[in-house]
Chain A
Amino acid sequence: KAGVTQTPRYLIKTRGQQVTLSCSPISGHRSVSWYQQTPGQGLQFLFEYFSETQRNKGNFPGRFSGRQFSNSRSEMNVSTLELGDSALYLCASSLGRVINEQFFGPGTRLTVL
């Protein structure tokens, strides 16, 4: 089976712009979660989508949003980018049960200038 894929792998944007990141889960997985990783804050949960519905949300401002399509692929959008949004954005794929194995993609490195 192919693993979790994320595109693009690297992205450079300027403050005020918006960005869309994409995540394709493992075939058959219905849950996609997004995480932000920074040196100062570590890995922090953004949100989780399951069957096209947001099932969980972390403590991030409304500039961070996401969606999931019927084929379980997910996108994450950040509007009005700030310097502090520079981070590695990781998505995780799972079957969607309460406790189950979570597999991560390689991440998208976002740099905001």
Chain B
Amino acid sequence: SQELEQSPQSLIVQEGKNLTINCTSSKTLYGLYWYKQKYGEGLIFLMMLQKGGEEKSHEKITAKLDEKKQQSSLHITASQPSHAGIYLCGADRGRETSGSRLTFGEGTQLTVNP
């Protein structure tokens, strides 16, 4: 089974609607990253969360970390076609091995219809 489970796997919304993507870890979360990827391109850094209860926002995107539940959520308010892409959550397992190594979820494909 995956260390990081993302849900849903895909999402189609109408422009202007709000949406939430979840990321659940089977292991203790130390650092949780959210990235956006356009197909075949590099990952665009969105946010990094470190502490339980931490919440960060950038423009219309908000991410929260629930350390107890080992879960993070990414919320987009008033979605726009520019939000379309693949959203990936990543967990840093660096504390286990010294250094950095990210484990990623399978991604959530977001489509925003105008």
Contact = CB atoms under 8 A, between A and B. Distances in A.
Contacts of A106: 41-42
B8 interface: no
Interface in A81-113: 88, 90, 92, 94, 96, 98-107, 109
Nearest to B39: A88
Contacts of A96: 99-100
Interface string B84-105: 0000101010110111111111
Interface SS of A by simple majority = strand
Report, as a range, how many residues of chain B touch the other chain. 20 to 34
Report, as a range, how many residues of chain A touch the other chain. 20 to 34
Contacts of B88: 43
Given A31-B99, A88-B40, A99-B50, A43 B104 contact: yes
Interface stretch (B16-24, B27-35, B65-73, B74-82): B27-35
Contacts of A92: 43, 102
B21 to A, nearest CB: 16
A113 to B, nearest CB: 18
B42 A33 contact: no
Contact of B43 (A90, A99, A100): A90
Contacts of A99: 30-31, 48, 50, 92, 94-95
B80 to A, nearest CB: 23
B95 A48 contact: no
A56 to B, nearest CB: 4
Interface of B: 30-31, 33, 35, 40-45, 48, 50, 88, 90, 92, 94-95, 97-107
8 smallest beta-carbon distances between A and B, as pairs:
A55-B99, A99-B31, A104-B43, A106-B42, A43-B104, A56-B99, A56-B101, A104-B42
Given A98-B98, A104-B45, 17 more contacts: A4-B42, A48-B101, A50-B99, A90-B42, A92-B102, A98-B30, A98-B100, A99-B50, A99-B92, A100-B100, A102-B45, A104-B35, A104-B44, A106-B41, A107-B40, A107-B42, A109-B40
